[in-house]
């Protein structure tokens, strides 16, 4: 390999590479929106919602300002509020729990499964109390949680299920798209997600028309018609410009996810036999869209130093399980409460992962990781 190549940065994610291909199409769409200044609730918003609902095999899609708001409004629409408890995974991005808090409810954490890193379904029932109203399984790193088990528990205890699919656009569990399995499925279109806008974006899908209508009211000042306010709402709309970007990118999501899966296979082939490395495992009844490719290594400091020395970026998702964050210290969880999440947090490492990743870049990552393992 040439010397210049190894000195180039292997980015964690290469957004410029993704946008370059669409710049002319995006420019054209933007020009049309600027021409009629339909920045708010323009045609692209409804068009993208229809396309995304269809893609997710769901009856309705409501676009929103971001994924956190999607989770928040999903809970409000399901009637969850003060005095209620909502169960979710300790091993997730904080937004999942924040949405519960901002709905006025209390997050109740459960440990993750050591193989899939998604919520440990064996431990959900122990966390249920008379105040429990819902479960938010997170399809973490792109792999669906064990939805059959979760839906069965929900049915038995009369709980709602909100899927946090913010990392799993297009992932499939037993033939079904994530987001369409629970009561409501929430997505983020943050730029770095598998389907990302050119700024903040989010949305949710559901098969329930009433919830969808209620959430549309909540996102737009409680009104369907300007200055006719049926309820007290908020301003959580998706911009027309972002909807236009998402509409252009959505038809490519499937091939990007396939590229991510191929890259994951390549990493796994070359790392699975390295002593001490734990490669990702995808359960046989689902796929993963590999939003992140997360390995475990015995000495993370050493591997991160080797990556840095070779100009390779990486990440940790997430360094502190939510029950041990300062933000949630008022919930009074102790260290040791969720041993699987706590142990994983010390050893997990996310390697560069994006559709445009090249084999040369992957070879450099693999070589650098191996060089740090004794």
Ligand X SMILES: *Cc1c(COP(=O)(O)O)cnc(C)c1O
By the criterion CB under 6 A, which residues form the site for ligand X?
66-68, 92-93, 95-96, 138, 164, 166-167, 188, 190, 200, 202
Torsion of CA 113, 204, 178, 104, to 10 degrees: 20
Shortest distance, CB of residue 52 to ligand X, whole angstroms?
A: 14
> Which lies closer to ligand X via its Cβ, residue 49 or residue 200?
200
Contact 109, 88 (CB under 8 A): yes
> Which lies closer to ligand X via its Cβ, residue 78 or residue 368?
78
The Cα–Cα gap between 223 and 218 comes to 8
Shortest distance, CB of residue 139 to ligand X, whole angstroms?
A: 8
Ranges of H-type helices in the chain:
3-7, 15-20, 23-36, 43-55, 67-77, 95-102, 147-157, 209-219, 240-249, 253-271, 300-309, 339-347, 359-371
| Largest Cα span, the chain | 68
Shortest distance, CB of residue 90 to ligand X, whole angstroms?
A: 13
Shortest distance, CB of residue 166 to ligand X, whole angstroms?
A: 3
Shortest distance, CB of residue 244 to ligand X, whole angstroms?
A: 18
Shortest distance, CB of residue 66 to ligand X, whole angstroms?
A: 4
Q: What letter would DSSP give residue 101? A: H
Contact 71, 186 (CB under 8 A): yes
The Cα–Cα gap between 352 and 346 comes to 19
Shortest distance, CB of residue 118 to ligand X, whole angstroms?
A: 11
> Which lies closer to ligand X via its Cβ, residue 75 or residue 372?
75
Shortest distance, CB of residue 27 to ligand X, whole angstroms?
A: 25
Contact 199, 181 (CB under 8 A): no
> Which lies closer to ligand X via its Cβ, residue 98 or residue 360?
98
> Which lies closer to ligand X via its Cβ, residue 95 or residue 369?
95
The Cα–Cα gap between 89 and 183 comes to 18
Beta-bridged to residue 235, according to DSSP, are: 220
> Which lies closer to ligand X via its Cβ, residue 164 or residue 239?
164
> Which lies closer to ligand X via its Cβ, residue 260 or residue 364?
260
> Which lies closer to ligand X via its Cβ, residue 128 or residue 195?
195
DSSP letter string over 261-328? HHHHHHHHHHHTTSTT-B-----TTB----SSEEEE-S-HHHHHHHHHHTTB--B-S-SS-GGGSGGG
């Amino acid at each position: 390999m040439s010397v210049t190549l190894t000195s180039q940065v292997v980015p964690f994610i290469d957004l410029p590479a993704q946008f370059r291909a669409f710049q002319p199409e995006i420019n054209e769409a933007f020009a049309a929106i600027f021409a009629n200044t339909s920045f708010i609730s323009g045609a692209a918003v409804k068009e993208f919602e229809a396309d995304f609902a269809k893609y997710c095999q769901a009856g309705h899609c409501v676009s929103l300002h971001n994924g956190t708001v999607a989770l928040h409004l999903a809970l409000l629409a399901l009637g969850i509020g003060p005095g209620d408890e909502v169960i979710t995974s300790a091993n997730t991005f904080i937004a999942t729990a924040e949405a519960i808090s901002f709905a006025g409810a209390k997050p109740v954490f459960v440990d993750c499964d050591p193989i899939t890193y998604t919520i440990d379904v064996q431990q959900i029932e122990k966390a249920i109390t008379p105040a429990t109203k819902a479960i938010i399984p997170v399809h973490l790193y792109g792999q669906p949680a064990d939805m059959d088990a979760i839906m069965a528990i929900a049915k038995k205890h009369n709980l709602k299920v909100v899927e946090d699919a913010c990392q799993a656009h297009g992932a499939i569990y037993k033939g079904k798209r994530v987001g369409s399995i629970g009561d409501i499925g929430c997505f983020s279109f943050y730029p770095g997600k598998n389907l990302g806008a050119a700024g903040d974006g989010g949305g949710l899908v559901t098969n329930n028309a009433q919830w969808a209508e209620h959430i549309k009211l909540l996102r737009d000042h409680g009104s369907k018609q300007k200055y006719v306010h049926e309820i007290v709402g908020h301003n959580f709309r998706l911009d027309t410009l972002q909807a236009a970007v998402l509409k252009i990118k959505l038809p490519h999501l499937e091939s990007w996810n396939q590229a991510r899966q191929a890259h994951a296979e390549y990493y796994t082939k070359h790392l699975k036999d390295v002593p001490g490395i734990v490669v990702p495992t995808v359960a046989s009844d689902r796929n993963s869209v590999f939003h992140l490719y997360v390995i475990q290594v015995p000495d993370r400091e050493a591997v991160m130093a080797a990556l840095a020395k070779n100009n390779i970026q990486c990440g940790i998702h997430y360094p502190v399980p939510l029950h041990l964050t300062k933000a949630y210290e008022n919930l009074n969880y102790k260290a040791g409460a969720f041993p699987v999440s706590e142990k994983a947090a010390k050893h997990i490492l996310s390697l560069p992962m994006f559709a445009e990743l090249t084999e040369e870049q992957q070879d450099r990552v693999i070589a650098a990781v191996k060089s740090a393992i004794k």
